[in-house]
Amino acid sequence: MKRVLTRSLLTWFLAAAFFVGLGYFVVRLVTNAEDWAQLPMNGHLSASGLGTAGTIYDRKGVVLAESVDGERVYNSDPRIRAAVLHTVGDDSTSIATSVQSVYRNDLVGYSFLLGMGLPESFRSTSDITLTIDAEACAAAYDVMAANNYKGAVVVYNYKTGEIICKVSTPTYDPNSPPKIEEGDDTYEGVYLDKVLSAAYPPGSTFKLITAAAAIETIPDSPARYLYCEGGTIIGGEYVTCVEPHGEIDMREAMADSCNIYFAELAVELGSDTMTKYANAFGFNKSFSMGHNDLKKSSYDVSKADTAALAWSGVGQYTDLANPMHMAMICSAIANGGSPTNPYLIKDVSSFFKIGDIKAGISGENGDKMMKSATANKLADMMRYTVSDHYGDSMFGNLHVATKTGTAEVGDGKEDGWIVGFVTDEDVPLAFAVCIENGGFGISSAAPVAKAALEASAQALNN
């Protein structure tokens, strides 16, 4: 009797272990199947799979990538191919954030239940329409390419969240991906979509955050005057401006991009208040766009002395900003304080709903970054910068509010920034451009922004 009991207990134990193991396997299969399918070693999906994949269109129905006779074919214009490479992707999955990497399962019609076992004609491939405009991307790319610029450009609709123009350089032609030799810096960072996955010292564009902190913390601070002699000692270090700015209030300091004005404000506000406002503006925070996480912007003055705190207030020290995030900050300024979440997938067509690609379609407002009154004050200062200092001709027929930046990145190199938004009612575009080693943002980034904005405005009106 005892032996029978032992044996039946053992049987039960083995059966239980079997089912636990089976359950574990099923869970692993369900949760990881799509990842397994996308492993590079699964060549049937990663390479030839695209040969029968769905089509990718831009917002106007221009074909960016399609499959013809078992081959993946990209747009016939080499400018467009290079300009949208980081958004669309190539045959490989080297650009991990691209549509052809992230949504490959949807494009090729991979099914978790049936795998790739179904004949092609039965597979449910998806066509994907993007929010970008191919011509707007190409227009921005043309200026980048003509000047051999490396960097990031993004323009998006601050009312809807649709990304209209998005370019990352260096780039290449997906029809002939380069063989990159070790140490060849022509292609440094080529697989990175810098709009989404890079972070640069923000330089003077960060003065927007320092200004917001002062506006909300120090009563009447925008009206306070400071005399800029072109240089002063703060916390034992010499802080300089490009030139002496004389007697200036906050609006003038913003337009002149006076370092001393904002460096002294940062010290007056203190590290706790500066950190509070940097965080409210989305620094040190993860934003996601569809299935991709943006590179985090960072602001950390926990170990900063007075001089470092001063530099942090003008976008130096250890400050870093992601270009998409900077455009979102400008959307918040344009929108009375709340940023618009950007998105890239306009529409997906598929017979079966296999993936969850539609999670990529969004556009709601994010957490409020500042009070409405603060947003309006910043908007006025940014608009004044163009109308009174740069001149409206800088942006053709568009009325633009901006902040430029020239960020020291070491070795005597400087990244050029321009961020802002269009104030014309029917052209709700927010933007950010960063040119690596471009020097003054006004000379390097601004002409790229002009081309990107004009072409994006055209895309909106068609």
Among 154, 228, 382, 422, binds Zn ion (CB under 5 A): 228
Cβ distance to Zn ion smaller for residue 249 or 300: 249
What does the alpha-carbon distance between residue 180 and residue 191 come to, in Å, rounded to a whole number? 11
Among 50, 208, 250, 258, binds Zn ion (CB under 5 A): 258
Cβ distance to Zn ion smaller for residue 234 or 241: 241
Cβ distance to Zn ion smaller for residue 29 or 242: 242
CB of 260 to Zn ion, least distance (A): 5
Binding mask 280-319 for Zn ion (x = CB under 5 A): ----------------------------------------
Q: Which stretch binds Zn ion (CB under 5 A): 54-62, 179-187, 221-229, 449-457?
A: 221-229
Residue 99 is a binding residue for Zn ion (CB under 5 A): no
Handedness of CA 398, 403, 404, 410 (dihedral sign): negative
Q: Which stretch binds Zn ion (CB under 5 A): 45-53, 236-244, 338-346, 409-417?
A: 236-244
Cβ distance to Zn ion smaller for residue 267 or 330: 267
Cβ distance to Zn ion smaller for residue 138 or 263: 263
10 Å CB burial of residue 399 (0-12, 13-18, 19+) is middle
Q: Which stretch binds Zn ion (CB under 5 A): 48-56, 139-147, 224-232, 281-289?
A: 224-232
Cβ distance to Zn ion smaller for residue 357 or 381: 381
What does the alpha-carbon distance between residue 163 and residue 343 come to, in Å, rounded to a whole number? 6
Cβ distance to Zn ion smaller for residue 115 or 244: 244
CB of 81 to Zn ion, least distance (A): 45
Residue 241 is a binding residue for Zn ion (CB under 5 A): yes
CB of 261 to Zn ion, least distance (A): 6
| Those residues with Cβ within 8 angstroms of residue 85's Cβ, 6 or more apart along the chain or in another chain | 95, 98, 168, 171, 172, 173, 174
Among 123, 245, 325, 450, binds Zn ion (CB under 5 A): 245
CB of 226 to Zn ion, least distance (A): 8
Handedness of CA 6, 12, 15, 20 (dihedral sign): negative
Tokens linked to 275: 């950190």
CB of 383 to Zn ion, least distance (A): 21
Q: Cβ(207)–Cβ(403) under 8 Å?
A: yes
Cβ distance to Zn ion smaller for residue 241 or 452: 241
What does the alpha-carbon distance between residue 142 and residue 126 come to, in Å, rounded to a whole number? 31
CB of 230 to Zn ion, least distance (A): 6
Q: Which stretch binds Zn ion (CB under 5 A): 92-100, 102-110, 259-267, 293-301?
A: 259-267
What does the alpha-carbon distance between residue 81 and residue 174 come to, in Å, rounded to a whole number? 7
CB of 245 to Zn ion, least distance (A): 4
What length is written for the chain?
Answer: 462
Cβ distance to Zn ion smaller for residue 224 or 291: 224
Q: Which stretch binds Zn ion (CB under 5 A): 18-26, 257-265, 311-319, 344-352?
A: 257-265
Cβ distance to Zn ion smaller for residue 244 or 270: 244
CB of 262 to Zn ion, least distance (A): 9
Binding mask 380-419 for Zn ion (x = CB under 5 A): ----------------------------------------
Residue 226 is a binding residue for Zn ion (CB under 5 A): no
Cβ distance to Zn ion smaller for residue 241 or 434: 241
What does the alpha-carbon distance between residue 459 and residue 455 come to, in Å, rounded to a whole number? 6
Residue 260 is a binding residue for Zn ion (CB under 5 A): yes
Binding mask 144-183 for Zn ion (x = CB under 5 A): ----------------------------------------
Dihedral in degrees, nearest 10, Cα atoms 46, 48, 49, 54: 120
Q: Which stretch binds Zn ion (CB under 5 A): 174-182, 223-231, 407-415, 416-424?
A: 223-231
Cβ distance to Zn ion smaller for residue 80 or 258: 258
Q: Cβ(291)–Cβ(355) under 8 Å?
A: no
| Residues in binding contact with Zn ion, number by CB under 5 A | 5
Q: What is the CA radius of gyration of the chain?
A: 26
What does the alpha-carbon distance between residue 282 and residue 321 come to, in Å, rounded to a whole number? 10
Binding site for Zn ion (CB under 5 A): 228, 241, 245, 258, 260
